[in-house]
Structure 1
Amino acid sequence: MTALIIAVAACAEKGSGPVLSTGDRYLSGSPAFDDYRLGVGDRIKVTVFNEPTLSGDFGVAADGAISLPLIGNLPATGHTVAEVIAAARARYADGYLRLPKLSGEVSTLRPLFILGEVSSPGSYPYTFGLTAMNAIATARGFTPRANHDIVRIRRQGETEEVNYRLTPELRVYPGDTVHVGERYF
């Protein structure tokens, strides 16, 4: 009877729902950066050719927009950098600049958050191609009570954590919250 109670408690700690070990987070190689969708906390470097006062590093604010000189706010959350640059180019061409030439790139990705049974939980800068194991290592590794088999990950903007089998191929994305649970035996 005691063994059954311990087994049920261990399963409950792992979170509700199935444990995934396949899917887009397990794909080999790096995801394409061209289709990266901006989110709150990202920063993009915008260069307006021959207009240094209009160029700069701009952050995606809590309302999901970036604020550019002269043209004001542009929606950015959920858009690629190319889409934001195209919208900015159209706005600058609408009475501000003749034939505006713009370029843009992501300068800073939104941070990753690590909770639970790691030595230093907190917010960490995201680096492209980061895996869950790398993220845990960044947080100075597991505590002695940590579950080394399963992690729970919540994507930015979602409300539910999803259980994933912890493997070297498990990727995390900017804005993710990685939760390392406790094991009981």
Structure 2
Amino acid sequence: MLAACSSPPEMTSPENQVPTTVAGPDSPLYVIGPGDTLNVFVWGDSELSTQVVVRPDGMITTPLVEDLPASGKTPTELARTLEAKLSKFVKSPKVTVSVTEFVGRYTEQVRVVGQASQPQSINYRDGMTLLDVIIAVGGLTDFAAGNKAKVVRKVNGKTTEYRVRLDDLIRDGDISANVKMMPGDVLIIPETWF
């Protein structure tokens, strides 16, 4: 008998497939994270306008305002906070904050580990799919077991693993295997055993 050489059954039941929809907002708002570069524009006061990088501790320093928490806020929330802080020094300040270079928090990234050509963390973009992620990491190595890959996702505080079919998507062009990714997803691509 060759039972010792057989492969384990594929995880194809519906509960192990990546959901095509996820409860929550259709378009998640970007949340500032350490390493992001911000353009802070104070209308009518160029001396207070500046470009800053969010420090590893999540704080920024601008003219007149030191050690201000930025990580975890949206650009609009940070702008309102800056307006409140600057109002001690400037009459009715109007502030705009824009993110010019994105790094983001880990919860706003998609991380790829294992047998990707260039494993890395990728900034999540609205509407990102599995194919987008694979293109960003340069594809799979020759040793990747693509159809045994899985997405680890946290939904409502519960961590769940979903099997994805990378070989079917990339090598066979099966577009039904192109699932939607979410911020905070981890794609694990195992090595094949010959």
Q: Provide the TM-score with structure 2 as the length reference.
A: 0.67
Residue in 2 that maps onto 1:135: 133
Decide which of 77, 81, 86 is 1:83's aligned counterpart. Answer: 77
Decide which of 28, 43, 67 is 1:49's aligned counterpart. Answer: 43
Question: In terms of Rg, which structure is larger?
Answer: 2
Secondary structure of the equivalent of 1:7? coil
Residues 99-152 of structure 1, C-alpha deviations (whole Å, 9 max, x = no match): 111111222221654321112223556655432321211222112332333333
Residues of 1 paired with 2:74 and 2:8: CA distance? 46
Decide which of 100, 103, 108 is 1:110's aligned counterpart. Answer: 103
Residues 76-120 of structure 1, C-alpha deviations (whole Å, 9 max, x = no match): 2222111111000000001x1111111112222216543211122
Q: Which has the higher contact order (CA 8 A, sep 6+)?
A: 1
Secondary structure of the equivalent of 2:86? helix
Secondary structure of the equivalent of 2:82? helix
Counterpart of 2:138 in structure 1: which amino acid?
Answer: R
Residues of 2 paired with 1:171 and 1:69: CA distance? 39
Residues of 2 paired with 1:43 and 1:161: CA distance? 33
Runs of 5+ consecutive residues of structure 2 not aligned to the other structure:
166-176
Residue in 1 that maps onto 2:170: none
Counterpart of 1:101 in structure 2: which amino acid?
Answer: K
Residue in 2 that maps onto 1:171: 181
Structure 1 runs, 4 residues or longer, greater than 6 Å off: none
Runs of 5+ consecutive residues of structure 1 not aligned to the other structure:
12-17
Secondary structure of the equivalent of 1:171? coil
Shift of 1:48: 0.7
Give the direction of change, closer, same or farther, for the CA distance of 1:53–1:129 in structure 2 (3 Å limit).
farther
Residue in 1 that maps onto 2:151: 152
What is the Cα-based RMSD across aligned positions, in Å?
A: 3.5
Decide which of 56, 62, 79 is 1:62's aligned counterpart. Answer: 56
Q: Provide the TM-score with structure 1 as the length reference.
A: 0.70
Residues of 2 paired with 1:118 and 1:26: CA distance? 29
Residues 33-88 of structure 1, C-alpha deviations (whole Å, 9 max, x = no match): 5x322222323221111222322222222112222221112222222111111000
